[in-house]
């Protein structure tokens, strides 16, 4: 993989390259190219604080891909990906395209709020000529009404049919002041029976104290970005599921959600730092 700085794109209009952004730092963790010097500098410091962050992000990403495939296998044909960011590979529409037979259709809406993520989504969807069945809504996921009423959402999502709502590695950017319970409940209420709600989160729940301290210092370092971070235990998922049924295998470490094979040693090492759960709305 070439060094990111060789390929870093010119900053699109409206992008603040003075302050690190979670979307671009996340892209750097994943080895992508949509990041600037300020993000890489922040990322290197973050890795020094919490050396497991890069493999943890990769683990989260492959787990998200498995959830999308499982939702497709369960018959879900609509995806709403909140806080999709700028990752270079393994995006929801790519997984959908690769997993479904050519004659079958599904729709994907990415919800992005950072200008860099919007610029990236435009390029990606044009490149893949996916505009007919995939699009992005520029919105803050906390503003549920704007997300659900956005013209792209209305064009691509039929709310009388099941939707797979993805909130992957995103709720830890939503502080308690933003009333996360209420946000998730509002989304749940709008979705049809058979819908899926997938949430993953950074945690120190089952992490030994020395490591937990590393994570807390890493989380503190995000105060200087435009996206501060919060830690939560898996009890949050039980509450965010409401009366929906948590599907097998329950609320687990990311690498344990319907794995394709046994975890690699590195997976085991980083697994305690994140949990994931998928809930289904009953008929």
Residue with tokens 């549920």: 144
Closer residue to ligand SAM (CB): 64 or 278: 64
Q: Rule CB under 6 A: choose which of 35, 106, 110, 114 binds ligand SAM.
A: 114
Among 20, 43, 85, 277, binds ligand SAM (CB under 6 A): 85
The interface region with ligand SAM, picked from 80-88, 121-129, 148-156, 273-281 by CB under 6 A, is 80-88
- Contact segment (CB under 6 A) with ligand SAM among 3-11, 69-77, 169-177, 261-269 equals 169-177
- Asked if 203 touches ligand SAM (CB under 6 A), the answer is no
* Binds ligand SAM (CB under 6 A): choice among 34, 35, 59, 60: 60
- 35 binds ligand SAM, rule: CB under 6 A: no
By C-beta, is 169 or 270 nearer to ligand SAM?
169
Q: Under the criterion CB under 6 A, does residue 278 sit at the interface with ligand SAM?
A: no
- 29 vs 160 by CB, closer to ligand SAM: 29
CA distance linking residue 254 with residue 63, whole number of Å: 6
| Cβ within 8 Å of residue 123, ≥6 positions away | none
Count of residues interacting with ligand SAM (CB under 6 A): 22
Q: Could you tell me which stretch among 11-19, 44-52, 58-66, 184-192 binds ligand SAM (CB under 6 A)?
A: 58-66
Among 20, 32, 83, 274, binds ligand SAM (CB under 6 A): 83
Q: Which of 227, 234, 236, 277 binds ligand SAM (CB under 6 A)?
A: 227
CB of 273 to ligand SAM, least distance (A): 13
Residues from 9 through 28 that contact ligand SAM (CB under 6 A): 22-23, 26
Which of 111, 76, 65 has its CA nearest to residue 280? 76
Stretch that binds ligand SAM, among 100-108, 120-128, 163-171, 255-263 (CB under 6 A): 163-171
Task: Please report the DSSP string for the chain in residue order.
Answer: ---HHHHPPPPPTT---SS--HHHHHHHHTT-S---HHHHHHHHHHHHH-TTHHHHHHHHHHHHHHHHHHHHHTT--EEEEET----SS--HHHHHHHHS-TT---EEEEEE-SHHHHHHHHHHHHHTT-TTTEEEEE--TT-HHHHHHSHHHHHH--TTS--EEEETT-GGGS-GGG-HHHHHHHHHHHSPTT-EEEEEEE--TT--HHHHHHHHHHHHHGGGSSS------THHHHHHHTTSEEPTT-SEEGGGSS-SSPPPHHHHHHGGGEEEEEEE---
Nearest to 38 by CA among 56, 23, 60, 54: 23
Q: Which of 157, 168, 271, 276 binds ligand SAM (CB under 6 A)?
A: 168
Give the residue, chosen from 40, 52, 61, 188, that forms a contact with ligand SAM under the rule CB under 6 A: 61
| 221 in contact with ligand SAM (CB under 6 A) | no
Beta strands 274-280 and 252-253: pairing type? antiparallel
Q: Which residues bind ligand SAM (CB under 6 A)?
A: 22-23, 26, 60-61, 64, 83-85, 87, 111, 113-114, 117, 140-142, 168-170, 173, 227
């Amino acid at each position: 993989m070439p060094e990111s700085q060789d390929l870093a794109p010119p900053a699109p209009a409206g992008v603040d390259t003075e302050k690190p952004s979670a979307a671009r730092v996340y892209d750097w963790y994943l080895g992508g190219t949509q990041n600037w010097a300020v993000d890489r500098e922040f990322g290197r410091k973050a890795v020094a604080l919490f050396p497991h962050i890069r493999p943890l992000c990769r683990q989260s990403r492959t787990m998200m891909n498995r959830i999308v495939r499982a939702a497709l296998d369960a018959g879900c044909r609509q995806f709403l990906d909140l806080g999709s960011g700028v990752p270079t590979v393994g995006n929801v529409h790519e997984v959908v395209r690769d997993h479904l037979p050519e004659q079958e259709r599904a729709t994907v809406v990415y919800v992005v709020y950072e200008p860099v993520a919007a610029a990236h989504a435009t390029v990606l969807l044009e490149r893949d000529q996916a505009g007919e069945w995939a699009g992005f809504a520029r919105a803050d996921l906390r503003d549920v009404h704007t997300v659900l009423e956005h013209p792209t959402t209305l064009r691509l999502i039929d709310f009388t049919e099941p939707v797979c709502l993805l909130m992957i590695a995103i709720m830890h950017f939503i502080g308690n002041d933003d009333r996360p319970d209420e946000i998730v409940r509002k989304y749940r209420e709008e979705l049809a029976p058979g819908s899926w709600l997938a949430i993953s989160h950074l945690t120190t729940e089952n992490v030994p104290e020395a490591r937990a301290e590393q994570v807390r210092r890493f989380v503190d370092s995000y105060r200087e970005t435009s996206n501060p971070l919060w830690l939560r235990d898996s009890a949050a998922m039980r509450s965010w599921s409401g009366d929906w049924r948590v599907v097998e295998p329950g609320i687990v470490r990311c690498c344990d959600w319907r794995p394709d094979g046994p975890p690699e040693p590195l997976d085991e090492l980083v697994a305690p730092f994140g949990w994931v759960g998928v809930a289904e709305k009953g008929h």
